[in-house]
Structure 1
Amino acid sequence: MTYQPSGHRAAAVETMTFDRLRELNDGGTQRADFHVLAVVDAGHGTVTVDFRHHPLKERSAVWIPPGAVHRWDDIAGVAGHLVLYVPTAPVTHATRELVASPDLVAHWSVPDADWPFVEMARDHLLLEASAVPENAPTELPPILLSALIARLRPPQAQALSAHPVFQEFRSSVEAHFREHHAAGYYARALGYAPRTLSRAVQQVTGRTAKVYIVDRIVLEAKRLLAHDRLTAARCAAMLGFPDASNFSVFFRKATGMRPGAWQAAAAVE
């Protein structure tokens, strides 16, 4: 799914209500090339993001990054708004760094003390987004989006700024995991001793560098199997495995299931 803002202007930020989402939602899985940030005012429901179910509840937020496979499972009673935006829309260094992270937390509750500020930031963005094109400065929605993200205080925001070694590793893995599967490659490429790199990764994630890489490959494989409906052979080619047999052995070791069996199970969920 590609970013296609409504109206006549090529806006980097667009908003919609859950009422509008209900009209568009067909109950199937989606995989977009843009961010979806939802603020839930009231009601209860569920959303699945990268094969994990998350409850929607009053005064909570959902963040779906580009590439994530997601499905709005139960939103009949949910009230609130969604903000759709391209990865380059935020204007501050901190918010751009945050949206570039492949490890975004999908759902969190907004503390009561923060809610009035979140509500005000969201409402200001909605008001600006509703302006007629000739009276709407294009620079304002990205600024207000950055304010909303900052006010929402995503749980991963503090960890991002505190671990520069992990940041480098994470960015490198995101760029190269389809070709390079060994932790040693990233240690050499970034100029760190393997033990130093693995310690940094474990401090942030609780996983070794090797396990982090495996988890990233498995996530992409699941996305390709579940949404794109690729065969094991096509997944192997796209993820840097010499053939379908090697990929199947890797996937089964990581998940306990063969790719075809996992794909069939995901199709009936």
Structure 2
Amino acid sequence: MSKIRQLTWQPAGAVARPVEVMTFDRLRKLNDGRTQRADFHVLAVIQAGHGSVSIDFSSYLLIARTAIWIAPGAVHRWDQMADVAGHVVLFVPTAPVTPATRKLVAAPDLVAGWRIPVDQWELVAAAMTHLRLEASAAPTGPTTELLEILVSALVARLRPPPARARPENTIFRLFRCHVEAHFRVHHDAGYYAQVMGYAPRTLSRAVQQATGQTAKTYLTDRLVLEAQRLLAHDRLTTSRCASELGFLDASSFSVFFRNATGQRPGSWQTTSFTR
């Protein structure tokens, strides 16, 4: 569990609220320089300064008028933030209350960092200020509901872009849901075609249209990402990774990982960004 959650979301004798806001000063005090993997969203809005954050093994700049979105499950590390000013919003996946924002935060393909347009900055700052003020108020009956409404307003105002422009594709969305639920057990794209009731070629065309990848490649990439997260953050052995991800043994997992990345799991783990 993330250190941030342990330190800020477990008040003694109280139920944690679904939304919390902190400054970068507070984050610096909590941060120990190691990787984190939270089961909630981490949304940062940068007002000033310069730094960087690593999210799922890619680096993103922290500069003025930048938004950073770290989805649940992503392995991340705050690399440089000594002079960064802004706010960080922590919220559970169910916190947004509008259909549009709930759909948006559930999407697994949002970009992790983007610049906020100049003409939107004042409105984003106002939405953050209102959320911050409510989050700092003493808890009362409607506080939780207000926080959920205000975090929805902030998300809607930020308008996080998708990682890739693609048309609406019902088959792909269903495939993606099934993959997220079952990729640790089922590694064959044919399984997903069968349970979805589509011919393998139909599924392949739909995934290709949405992502530019075959269904097999999409599934392989998802497995590799989870393997990297387990190796980097959880520091699992090759054998434990194989077991967690449904491979018959360490050898078959090692061959899979090497074919996909060009490195053996142990070698990748040694050279990953973890400390």
What interval of TM-score do these two structures reach, taking the shorter chain for normalisation?
A: over 0.9
Determine what percentage of the aligned residue pairs are the same residue: 64
Q: Give 3-state SS (helix, strand or coil) of 1:162's partner.
A: coil
Q: Which residue of 1 aligns with 2:234?
A: 228
Does structure 2 retain, via aligned residues, the 8 Å contact 1:98–1:160? no
* TM-score, normalisation: structure 1: 0.94
Q: Which residue of 1 aligns with 2:65?
A: 59
* Mapping 1:1-269, distance limit 5 Å: 1=1, 3=5, 4-5=8-9, 8=14, 10-134=16-140, 137-156=143-162, 162-266=168-272
Number of equivalent positions: 269
Residues 24-45 of structure 1 show CA distances to partners (whole Å, capped at 9, x for unaligned) of 1111111111110001111111
Q: CA deviation at 1:14?
A: 0.3
Structure 2 CA distance for partners of 1:49 and 1:157, relative to 1, 3 Å: closer
Q: Give 3-state SS (helix, strand or coil) of 1:28's partner.
A: coil
| Distance in 1 (alpha carbons) for counterparts of 2:258 and 2:163 | 33
Residues 25-75 of structure 1 show CA distances to partners (whole Å, capped at 9, x for unaligned) of 111111111110001111111000011111111111111111111000000
Residues 149-187 of structure 1 show CA distances to partners (whole Å, capped at 9, x for unaligned) of 111111119968822222111111000000111111111
| Distance in 1 (alpha carbons) for counterparts of 2:118 and 2:86 | 16
Residues 222-244 of structure 1 show CA distances to partners (whole Å, capped at 9, x for unaligned) of 01111111111111111011000
**Stretches of structure 1 lacking an aligned partner (at least 5 in a row):** none
Does structure 1 retain, via aligned residues, the 8 Å contact 2:172–2:206? yes
| Distance in 2 (alpha carbons) for counterparts of 1:121 and 1:51 | 30
Structure 1 range deviating more: 132-141 or 60-69: 132-141
The CA RMSD measured in Å over matched residues stands at: 1.9
| Distance in 2 (alpha carbons) for counterparts of 1:167 and 1:160 | 12
| Distance in 1 (alpha carbons) for counterparts of 2:34 and 2:246 | 29
Does structure 2 retain, via aligned residues, the 8 Å contact 1:166–1:204? yes
| Distance in 2 (alpha carbons) for counterparts of 1:267 and 1:200 | 35
1:164 partner amino acid: T
Q: CA deviation at 1:126?
A: 0.8
Q: CA deviation at 1:102?
A: 2.4
| Distance in 2 (alpha carbons) for counterparts of 1:198 and 1:220 | 22
Q: CA deviation at 1:196?
A: 2.2
Does structure 1 retain, via aligned residues, the 8 Å contact 2:36–2:76? yes
Structure 1 range deviating more: 155-164 or 37-46: 155-164
| Distance in 1 (alpha carbons) for counterparts of 2:72 and 2:177 | 15
**Stretches of structure 2 lacking an aligned partner (at least 5 in a row):** none
Q: Give 3-state SS (helix, strand or coil) of 2:140's partner.
A: helix
Does structure 1 retain, via aligned residues, the 8 Å contact 2:127–2:153? yes
Structure 2 CA distance for partners of 1:103 and 1:158, relative to 1, 3 Å: closer
